[in-house]
Amino acid sequence: MIQKIDHIGIAVKSLDDVLRFYEDALGIKCKGTEVVDEQHVKTAFLPLGDSEIELLESTSEDGPIAKFIEKNGEGIQHIALRVDDIEGALEEMKGKEIRLIDEKPRMGAGGARIAFLHPKSTHGVLLELCERK
């Protein structure tokens, strides 16, 4: 069911500042950016081998990324696991009594369909299930 780590989501204050670090210091190139209004984020994708680093900057003061940074500072916000069938995966999680943040998939960046599992059920990690066609 779960195929690989699709991406690691990192909350940042300023995409421009942080991209300078990833591109100039680490030499990892940004493939593009996208605003996802529904989640109040601007995202930058940095493919790395078979996975990606996803940098997330909040586009509003009370969006989930702004709240995360307020509480924890910049850092890893979520880990996304690639699944081939997100509805099936959510059904399976429900059957195993895993707490879901999203009962139904929603649209994420890059045309992915995503759903989050609650950190209370995952030993402290915000896990995203992510299906890409």
Write out the residues near Zn ion by the rule CB under 5 A.
Answer: 9, 80, 128
Q: What is the closest distance, in whole angstroms, from the C-beta atom of residue 61 to Zn ion in the complex? A: 21
Residue 6 CB partners (closer than 8 Å, separation 6+):
51, 52, 80, 81, 82, 112, 128, 130, 132
Q: What is the closest distance, in whole angstroms, from the C-beta atom of residue 41 to Zn ion in the complex? A: 9
Q: What would the DSSP string read from start to end of 13-81?
A: S-HHHHHHIIIIIS-PPP-EEEEEGGGTEEEEEEEETTEEEEEEEESSTTSHHHHHHHHH-SEEEEEEE
Q: What is the closest distance, in whole angstroms, from the C-beta atom of residue 60 to Zn ion in the complex? A: 18
Assign 114 to helix, strand or coil.
Answer: strand
Of 95 and 100, nearer to Zn ion (C-beta) is 100
Of 128 and 131, nearer to Zn ion (C-beta) is 128
Q: What is the closest distance, in whole angstroms, from the C-beta atom of residue 82 to Zn ion in the complex? A: 11
**Residue whose Cβ sits closest to Zn ion:** 9
**Block residue for tokens 């402290």:** 124
Of 46 and 80, nearer to Zn ion (C-beta) is 80
Of 7 and 19, nearer to Zn ion (C-beta) is 7
